[in-house]
Structure 1
Amino acid sequence: MGIVFSPKQLQIIRAPYDHTLEVNEGTPRSSKTTAGVFRYADYLATTPDQNHLVAAYNQEQAFRLFMECDGFGLIHIFGDLAKIKHDENGDHLEVHTPSGVKKVYYKGGGKVDSKKAITGMSLGSVAFCEIDLLHMDFIQECFRRTFAAKMRYHLADLNPPAPNHPVISKVFDVQKTRWVHWTIDDNPIITEERKQEIYETLIKNPYLLQRDWFGKRVIPAGVIYSMFDVKENVAQKMEGQTVEMFFAGDGGQSDATSVSCNVVTKLDGQREFRLYRVAHYYHSGAETGDVKAMSVYAKEIKEFILWCQEKTGMSRSDVYIDPACKSLREELHLLGIQTEKADNNNKDIKGSSKGLEVGIERLQNAMTSKRLVLLEQTDSEYDHYNFIKEIGIYARDKNGTPVDDNNHAMDEARYANNYFYKRYVL
């Protein structure tokens, strides 16, 4: 059976290569990435340039979104003509095309020092996956790496960012850009019944309705952790004397399972402690389409815990899991990982705040006071991609109630901070 493309997908795939940058921006599940992959495959078959780059927040995302792409990625399009290889410049897909052999490198670009991985490379093109999540220094270096290309080309996709996102003014408005807007109606394989189901879910949150249904650039009203600062709350190394390492987690099957590694430090000569979020395990069955058994999650979480212990050279004190996740706790116990019930604020009262709101206030204060810090993870699958992604959209509804969505990393971060707060801050 042949692949059925929507009119907009065909328009993108067949367009002339007459712009420096092509941007596909719109809602999730709008098929923009699939169109971009086929567009890029056509470019690779045409260009005389040999070296190219696919970039995402991390290397794993670059491979999943463009090389694999749910069975429609470059490795599937080119089939026997493509093979994963490695050379001095890194992992890449070697593709045999009518215009010669091409090397398509895939790398992460979300970190402060990501540009080091491409410095010195000469590229014909760059495909940016979720370009708004990439570090601006890396993006700008990518454009410099293609200056000498014979058929210079750049392709980017993203979900609608905030209207003031710097990628708009510093990238889209600077380049000669072809910008295409996408909505879920552009996806030829989503049925009307599924569209209605998605709409009925999104309509409960005005922000998500505007962003994920209409594909508009909007600022979510009532973002809960708007005080989080990617400069002030992120560090490349820990300060102070390490005191304790512990883990906090929230589990689900179709919902996301999120577990964080946390290290407490005591600042030299001070009675002040910091909570470093060192690493993050995260998997969403709903987002990936891969729903795992709790026994599988437990096995992967154990691997994550052991990796963190080896990486830090520290032994864990405890593993705190949401009390509602009984099956996950039991599976971990079977693997020799003993757990405690996480403090989920059920019994907390502070002034006029109760329960969840108490935990939210504490985490907000930890961010504002810079007591909560993300430790940069370089070349690791356990980075902070999903934490940062959630923190930008976890918001309140029109009644002021936290929306029970995009909050799995937010919940376990709250559990971790509850433990930290009651032991080291009170």
Structure 2
Amino acid sequence: MNIPAPFSENQMRFFWGCFDHWFNVAEGGKRGGKNVLITMAYCTILEKHPSRIHLIAGVSTATARLNILDCDGFGLKNYFEGRCREGTYQNRDCLYIQTATGEKVVLVSGGGKAGDEKLIKGNTYGTAYITEANECSETFIKEVFDRTLSSPDRKVFHDLNPKAEGHWYYKTVLDFHEAKQRENPAYGLNYGHFTIADNMSISDEQLRAVLATYDRKSIWYARDILGQRRAAEGLIYDMFDFTANVYTVPPTAMQAVSTRTIAVDYGTLNPTCFLSIFDDGETVRVDQEYRWDGRKERHQKTDEEYADDFMAFMGDNPCAAYVDPSAASFITALRQRGVYVMEANNDVLNGIRRCSTLISKRRLLVSKACIGLLDEFGLYRWDDKAALLGVEKPVKENDHAMDALRYFVNSLPDWRFEHVQA
């Protein structure tokens, strides 16, 4: 069995508090040990809990499995190794566990979509652990509270990464229970805030390497490292320096030592953008761009015309392309011309975070000739109205080259962001 690293004093306070409180919430930065901490408390409580039916959940069943059943090798399957088996119960995925107080059935559920709450109706759960609770639907969270009301030893666990201050979870869940706790110290809320500094499995050397990948003035540092609730506002890439991140003359050996890829954001009425990107394994350089704005030009091109333009843009040196996955007919037109096309990963927030890391460390550079892309760096903004509702998304304007760039950066391996240095 895997044995976790020692807990910090902060983690130990929360761990012991789980046995005396019914609602336990662990919030904070990434790699703060929240999952391992709650899983250890949850397993210990399961061992002697009087109820037979229990619940674990996440945005999806895959998330619940990854964060709770596996949990970097410290999950339920590790804790109850030799005493558990995966199966089904009432046509739902579950884990059967042999404990000191008999067999337990732990159902596994997704809770991120409207209607997921229907999947957990019909049972009373002795305990419930929801990972990334503020990513789940509000209705699902409420249903879990309701489904544990008659437990003989009610225990609800949430772990979460920080969101904007106005996020619904704070307003409708945490603020409510914190107010109840202030009114009555015996109410039963156990709240803990954790950062990467609480993770005793991370060495000082590893910690320094992680911190070096962040711009300390960025929202990502505030959230991921300090675990603060911060709203995204203003320019998205405010760390982009129009001197340090821009080059006029490309390095002599750039094409010889780099891999070239073309990233594509495809538009019908909106502009279509191609970016010619060179990557030498350390620095990403955007060297050329193509842009066609059907509205501005008063002529919308067909897929075949765009594919012809792409071939001309690519020139005599064939390369792979990352293309907006929604552009199915354009992808087909390119493949018919022999282009190796990969459908892009359109994870917006993670892509923005990754681009921010490379920009702040001057590992993403743009040719002065890419006028449209450079213009967008000065215009691409967070949606202030959505932020008031706790929702983070960019304004859908001045984002076509931004999207294409993000498609490429999202394709890079994780180690490019873990070890990037200034």
Q: TM-score range by the shorter chain?
A: 0.5 to 0.7
In the alignment, the residues of structure 2 paired with residue 63 and residue 21 of structure 1 have an alpha-carbon distance, to the nearest angstrom, of 22
Other-structure match for 1:124: 126
1:61 paired to 2:79: no
Residues 67 and 410 from structure 1, CA distance in 2 versus in 1: closer, same or farther, beyond 3 angstroms?
farther
Report the CA distance between 1:121 and its aligned residue: 2.4
Report the CA distance between 1:114 and its aligned residue: 1.3
Q: Give the residue type in structure 2 aligned to 1:120.
A: G
Residues 2 and 34 from structure 1, CA distance in 2 versus in 1: closer, same or farther, beyond 3 angstroms?
closer
Q: Aligned runs of 1:290-369 on 2, under 5 Å? A: 317-318=330-331, 338-339=340-341, 349=371, 354-355=372-373, 357-358=375-376
Q: Aligned runs of 1:176-215 on 2, under 5 Å? A: 176-215=188-227
Q: Give the residue type in structure 2 aligned to 1:412.
A: Y
Other-structure match for 1:392: 392
Report the CA distance between 1:197 and its aligned residue: 1.8
Q: Give the residue type in structure 2 aligned to 1:355.
A: L
Give the TM-score normalised by the residue count of structure 2: 0.58
Q: Give the residue type in structure 1 aligned to 2:373.
A: G
175-184 or 204-213, larger mean C-alpha shift: 204-213
Other-structure match for 1:411: 406
Would you say the 8 A contact 2:89–2:107 is kept in 1? no
Same amino acid, percent of matched pairs = 26
In the alignment, the residues of structure 1 paired with residue 81 and residue 193 of structure 2 have an alpha-carbon distance, to the nearest angstrom, of 30
Other-structure match for 1:292: none
Report the CA distance between 1:18 and its aligned residue: 2.9
Residues 20 and 189 from structure 1, CA distance in 2 versus in 1: closer, same or farther, beyond 3 angstroms?
same
Q: Secondary structure at the match of 2:331?
A: strand
In the alignment, the residues of structure 2 paired with residue 5 and residue 94 of structure 1 have an alpha-carbon distance, to the nearest angstrom, of 28
Provide, for residues 4-51 of structure 1, a one-character-per-residue CA deviation record: whole Å limited to 9, x for no partner. 322333333333533231111111011111111111101111211111
Report the CA distance between 1:103 and its aligned residue: 1.1
Q: Give the residue type in structure 2 aligned to 1:196.
A: R
Other-structure match for 1:384: none
Q: Give the residue type in structure 2 aligned to 1:181.
A: H
Q: In the alignment, which of 15, 21, 26 is matched to residue 17 of structure 2?
A: 15
Would you say the 8 A contact 2:29–2:226 is kept in 1? yes
Would you say the 8 A contact 1:92–1:104 is kept in 2? yes
Report the CA distance between 1:316 and its aligned residue: 5.3
Provide, for residues 221-269 of structure 1, a one-character-per-residue CA deviation record: whole Å limited to 9, x for no partner. 33649xxxxxxxxxxxxxxxxxxxxxx999x999xxxxxxxxxxxxxxx
State the number of aligned residues.
294
Q: Give the residue type in structure 1 aligned to 2:159.
A: D
In the alignment, the residues of structure 2 paired with residue 48 and residue 316 of structure 1 have an alpha-carbon distance, to the nearest angstrom, of 58
Q: Secondary structure at the match of 2:108?
A: strand
Residues 21 and 337 from structure 1, CA distance in 2 versus in 1: closer, same or farther, beyond 3 angstroms?
farther
1:98 paired to 2:138: no
Would you say the 8 A contact 1:223–1:394 is kept in 2? no
In the alignment, the residues of structure 1 paired with residue 51 and residue 394 of structure 2 have an alpha-carbon distance, to the nearest angstrom, of 43
In the alignment, the residues of structure 1 paired with residue 126 and residue 58 of structure 2 have an alpha-carbon distance, to the nearest angstrom, of 17
Report the CA distance between 1:200 and its aligned residue: 2.4
- C-alpha RMSD of the superposition: 4.7
Other-structure match for 1:6: 7
Q: Give the residue type in structure 2 aligned to 1:136.
A: E
Report the CA distance between 1:59 and its aligned residue: 0.9
Q: Give the residue type in structure 2 aligned to 1:61.
A: T
In the alignment, the residues of structure 1 paired with residue 370 and residue 33 of structure 2 have an alpha-carbon distance, to the nearest angstrom, of 44
Would you say the 8 A contact 1:21–1:155 is kept in 2? yes
Residues 206 and 394 from structure 1, CA distance in 2 versus in 1: closer, same or farther, beyond 3 angstroms?
farther
In the alignment, the residues of structure 2 paired with residue 159 and residue 141 of structure 1 have an alpha-carbon distance, to the nearest angstrom, of 21
Would you say the 8 A contact 2:165–2:230 is kept in 1? yes
Q: Aligned runs of 1:149-228 on 2, under 5 Å? A: 149-175=151-177, 176-222=188-234, 224=236
In the alignment, the residues of structure 2 paired with residue 161 and residue 121 of structure 1 have an alpha-carbon distance, to the nearest angstrom, of 31
Other-structure match for 1:145: 147
Provide, for residues 199-221 of structure 1, a one-character-per-residue CA deviation record: whole Å limited to 9, x for no partner. 22223443222222222111133
Q: Give the residue type in structure 2 aligned to 1:112.
A: A
Q: Secondary structure at the match of 2:62?
A: helix
Q: Give the residue type in structure 1 aligned to 2:95.
A: L
Q: Give the residue type in structure 2 aligned to 1:125.
A: T
Q: Give the residue type in structure 2 aligned to 1:5.
A: P
Q: Secondary structure at the match of 1:14?
A: helix
1:70 paired to 2:72: yes
Q: Give the residue type in structure 2 aligned to 1:118.
A: I
Provide, for residues 343-376 of structure 1, a one-character-per-residue CA deviation record: whole Å limited to 9, x for no partner. xx98775xxxx21644997x989x99xxxxxxxx
Q: Give the residue type in structure 2 aligned to 1:221.
A: E
Would you say the 8 A contact 2:216–2:222 is kept in 1? no
Would you say the 8 A contact 1:48–1:150 is kept in 2? yes
Give the TM-score normalised by the residue count of structure 1: 0.58
Provide, for residues 318-346 of structure 1, a one-character-per-residue CA deviation record: whole Å limited to 9, x for no partner. 1699xxxxxxxxxx99xx9842899xx98
In the alignment, the residues of structure 2 paired with residue 364 and residue 183 of structure 1 have an alpha-carbon distance, to the nearest angstrom, of 28
Would you say the 8 A contact 1:57–1:133 is kept in 2? yes
Residues 69 and 205 from structure 1, CA distance in 2 versus in 1: closer, same or farther, beyond 3 angstroms?
same
